[in-house]
Structure 1
Amino acid sequence: MPTFAAPDASAHPLHLLRPDRLDSWLSDQSTHVQRWVKANGFTGREGEVCLIPGTDGGVDAIAAGLGDTSAAARGRFHLASIAQKLPEGTYKIASHGEAEDLQEHALGWLLSRYKFNRYKSGEPHSAKLICPDGVDADRLSAIAAGEFLTRDLINTPANDMSPPQLEAAARQLAQNHDAQVDVITGEALLEKGFPLVHAVGRASADAPRLIDLTWGTDGPALTLVGKGVCFDTGGLNIKPASSMGLMKKDMGGAATVLGLAHMIMALKLPVRLRVLVPAVENSISSNAFRPQDVLISRAGKTVEINNTDAEGRLVLADALTYADEAKPDALICMATLTGAARVAVGPDLAPFYTDDDELAQALQHAAKAVRDPVWRMPFHTPYETMIEPAVADLDNAPGGGFAGSITAALFLRRFVEHTAKFAHFDIYGWQPNPLPARPKGGLGQGARALLDALPKVLNL
């Protein structure tokens, strides 16, 4: 679990400075420090680090640049990039500018400690930070641990993260928090009313399954549903190699809700939590579902299959129906669902859909506060006709190429009839290029914003 260092009187002071505050800070320093900083050309630009020596020749303090206000607007977690440049030792933030930046700095430091080392060993990060005064260290550690879980699950390749192994990860999480897990596997999915989950996963060597984790006995009911497609070949509508290369991350929705579940349980939020993960592999075999098949969902709605590569919305449809039957106080769906969402907002923003304005406002406010960007997209009802084919109730992949993320969201909304507070996230779950606190690879999106918004959403 990522943690802060214990208080240490000998910790090196870390001064986080912007260019417009450098002169003011220098005026309060000794002549030695003033001369050293100026001689090294330190200006406070973003990512700049100046190690200030003491009389014994060792590091006495550090001046680090945050950049100007435009740098703050163009990026986040600037301390994370600085942390990578610091020598071994323990540090405490001595100068930091705005007080509201402290939580971001502290969380960024913890997130920068992440390293995926399952298959390749590496040197651990040796620099340590004492949690700043006024920052909840336990909360940030729980958040970082949940994010690390999400990243580990996404980064693990499909040969080690199949449906049974995703189930094992959920069971381990439940064991860690005294939660309960029930799993419906293989042919039992048909017997218990999950035909779409079964249809998508039946061609795989690993049986499809529905993972159902529950925790808590008091408070409002919160259900999280995460797409758990452990690998997606595209099925009989096989993906080209260029599109299949990252499909180990197609269970990113499941990884994100499991990471969020860790945060909720570690912080002991007063909710009745449920996590549903339809875990499948969309494979190719003689019994794979086919284009033009018409499948009957748990809800009784018929679905014409016009592309077997639009499988995520199928498994989610059954899971959402099951979740909605219990009428939870809030229902959140997370999925790496469409490439159209990436075209619309790129990899950094997590687009979400909801008809509940209060939920949307709470999410948007929280996202800004915790630096976890989200963007509301429209449930544009006039597009409903695009998902209504001639031969069935619904089309899983309407043609035309327009509004792909919206039509996928509208498809999912058809399976939520009793829960007013419903939101669907169409996330990417991947960091294509390294950025501060976000190395290249698996990435949780929207979880921190949701965690921060829950008290308002659920009146906790």
Structure 2
Amino acid sequence: MSLLANAPKFAASTDDAIPLITVFAGEDTTAESDAAWLAANGFTGGFGSLCVVPNSSGGVARVYAGLGAKGQTRRRFVLAAVAGKLPKGTYRIETELNGTDLDEAALGLLLSAYRFDRYAKQATPQAHFVAPDGVDTAKVEAMAAGECLTRDLINTPASDMGPAELTQAALDLIEMHGGAAEVTQGEDLLTQTFPLIHTVGRASSRAPRLIDLRWGNSGPKLTLVGKGVVFDTGGLNLKPGASMGLMKKDMGGAATVLGLAHMIMALGLKLQLRVLIPAVENAVDGSAFRPGDVLTSRKGLTVEINNTDAEGRLVLADALALAEEDAPDQIISMATLTGAARVAVGPDLAPFYTTDETMAAVLPKAASDTADPVWQMPFHDPYEAMIEPGIADLDNAPSGGFAGSITAALFLRRFVTDTPYTHFDIYGWNPAAAPARPKGGAGQGARALLAALPQVLDL
């Protein structure tokens, strides 16, 4: 798989680019000469509708695209809804959209070109788009490329995306941008004091790893930590078959931080970036860790194992402890961590927790501006008692079933005590196709973070 092979770009501007004219439902913004044609074809500007106006030789003179009702908030990437219906050609956008709405439209058009074609040939997009005037082309292309990288990594099945392959993707990315990398593997995880990562991954025939990427030599220090569980059987607390079917996406946190890292590096943000990914497979053999085991983490905190299917927080714990040792200005973790988060907010919203007041204030607006919705959840201190089992410092799977996403976040917070910390409990998957978002792997929170970082880190 060629890294960023599916990253779409804008087409070069040409004099013969076809005008793509956007129309809001109920507003008469069409040229008088086209009004009769549009009326005859029943075009009213409804969401996802289009009407092709032919030229005198039977080709395409221009196309009208319906955006639906102005101000509607029920859909994202409304212009992308017409992208797959357009006749073959290169289009330039004529629209009254501006600001963040125009950026969203431009990004949606690029993302609509994404295809995951590693295993089966997919229909090639017929339409290509010139960057609309007023759009930061480099930024939009970087965001699209980062998202497509994330999608490719998540969509690849675990047979072809094990710890070694995830490591190679990370190494290829950092080499592309001129950074440095270090990988700790197998038994070296024990000698380098990453006992939880080793314990979770040791039952697999594919050795566990800790991937450590660095880029940039000036500015504030940002560390991204991504859960890289390439497949999760549940361990000895084996998942039922129906719950195991999507577990190739359990490295969605790692895929998302790599996508965000690409955006940061491609845009040359003035910061020192570190990316930590514990890459493991939670499998079953005679060496698998057991319910009832008590494990000691890199930080020295002990953890009672009450469910081997709550393994993500274990591998993140060692990585977070390492992250804080470097005294960064901000630590951000991303993980497909709990089903409780999906019950709380569904698949579209990315819930986040933060100890940083600036992040809490800035991130929701940044998310709205980038069509990347997030929702703040609380680090609710009274629930700390739920993750304290008595026999050890921490419980990896509190009983009772209440507040599962919050207790997981509180568990992780124990490993970041002196640094501003933000944690995302993402889904990493679109269960149904939507404009610019095909069914399958999906990044969540990366664009929102990219937009928030300049204020959070005072760049």
For the aligned pair, the TM-score class normalised by the smaller chain equals over 0.9
Which residue of the partner structure matches residue 19 of structure 2?
A: 13
Alignment of 1:414-425 (within 5 A): 414-419=414-419, 421-425=420-424
Which residue of the partner structure matches residue 3 of structure 2?
A: none
Distance 1:129 1:119, change over 3 A: same
**Structure 2 Cα separation of the partners of residues 414 and 95 of structure 1:** 50
Residue type at the aligned position of 1:52: V
Q: SS of 1:402's equivalent?
A: coil
**Structure 2 Cα separation of the partners of residues 99 and 351 of structure 1:** 26
> Deviation of residue 8 (structure 1)?
1.0
Which residue of the partner structure matches residue 216 of structure 1?
A: 216
**Structure 1 Cα separation of the partners of residues 326 and 408 of structure 2:** 23
**Structure 2 Cα separation of the partners of residues 45 and 97 of structure 1:** 16
For each residue in 1:421-441, what CA deviation from the matched residue of structure 2 results, as whole angstroms up to 9, or x when unmatched?
210000000000000110000
For each residue in 1:18-47, what CA deviation from the matched residue of structure 2 results, as whole angstroms up to 9, or x when unmatched?
1232x2x23x432xx111101001111101
> Deviation of residue 95 (structure 1)?
2.6
What stretches of structure 2 of length at least 5 have no aligned partner?
Answer: 1-6
Residue type at the aligned position of 2:194: F
**Structure 2 Cα separation of the partners of residues 354 and 136 of structure 1:** 29
Q: Which moved more, 1:1-10 or 1:90-99?
A: 90-99
Give the paired residue count.
453
Q: Is the 8 A contact 1:325 1:418 kept in 2?
A: no
For each residue in 1:373-432, what CA deviation from the matched residue of structure 2 results, as whole angstroms up to 9, or x when unmatched?
00000000000000000200000000001000000000000000120x210000000000
Which residue of the partner structure matches residue 437 of structure 2?
A: 438
Q: Is the 8 A contact 1:11 1:90 kept in 2?
A: yes
Distance 1:144 1:270, change over 3 A: same
> Deviation of residue 98 (structure 1)?
4.6
For each residue in 1:220-248, what CA deviation from the matched residue of structure 2 results, as whole angstroms up to 9, or x when unmatched?
00000000000000000000011000000
For each residue in 1:32-74, what CA deviation from the matched residue of structure 2 results, as whole angstroms up to 9, or x when unmatched?
x11110100111110111001112221111111110136x310
Q: Is the 8 A contact 1:15 1:96 kept in 2?
A: no
Which residue of the partner structure matches residue 75 of structure 1?
A: 75
Q: Is the 8 A contact 1:306 1:396 kept in 2?
A: yes
1:429 partnered with 2:428: yes
Which residue of the partner structure matches residue 380 of structure 1?
A: 380
**Structure 2 Cα separation of the partners of residues 140 and 99 of structure 1:** 13
**Structure 1 Cα separation of the partners of residues 65 and 179 of structure 2:** 43
Which residue of the partner structure matches residue 286 of structure 1?
A: 286
**Structure 2 Cα separation of the partners of residues 150 and 441 of structure 1:** 11
Which residue of the partner structure matches residue 62 of structure 1?
A: 63
**Structure 2 Cα separation of the partners of residues 82 and 300 of structure 1:** 55
Output the aligned Cα RMSD. 0.9
Q: Is the 8 A contact 1:228 1:277 kept in 2?
A: yes
Q: Which moved more, 1:49-58 or 1:331-340?
A: 49-58
Q: Is the 8 A contact 1:200 1:288 kept in 2?
A: yes
**Structure 2 Cα separation of the partners of residues 338 and 304 of structure 1:** 18
Q: SS of 1:66's equivalent?
A: strand
Q: SS of 1:103's equivalent?
A: helix
**Structure 2 Cα separation of the partners of residues 277 and 100 of structure 1:** 32
Which residue of the partner structure matches residue 447 of structure 1?
A: 446
Q: Is the 8 A contact 1:4 1:130 kept in 2?
A: yes
Q: Is the 8 A contact 2:100 2:369 kept in 1?
A: no
Q: Is the 8 A contact 1:204 1:282 kept in 2?
A: yes
Residue type at the aligned position of 1:237: N
> Deviation of residue 97 (structure 1)?
4.1
Alignment of 1:45-444 (within 5 A): 45-69=46-70, 72-419=72-419, 421-444=420-443
Q: Is the 8 A contact 2:225 2:257 kept in 1?
A: yes
Q: Is the 8 A contact 1:320 1:416 kept in 2?
A: yes
Q: SS of 2:26's equivalent?
A: helix
What stretches of structure 1 of length at least 5 have no aligned partner?
Answer: none
**Structure 2 Cα separation of the partners of residues 123 and 226 of structure 1:** 32
Q: Is the 8 A contact 2:100 2:370 kept in 1?
A: no
Q: Is the 8 A contact 1:106 1:131 kept in 2?
A: yes
Distance 1:100 1:413, change over 3 A: closer
> Deviation of residue 346 (structure 1)?
0.2
> Deviation of residue 96 (structure 1)?
3.4
Report the TM-score when normalising by structure 1.
0.97
Q: Is the 8 A contact 1:17 1:97 kept in 2?
A: no
**Structure 2 Cα separation of the partners of residues 396 and 149 of structure 1:** 31
Q: SS of 1:284's equivalent?
A: coil
Q: Is the 8 A contact 2:25 2:70 kept in 1?
A: no
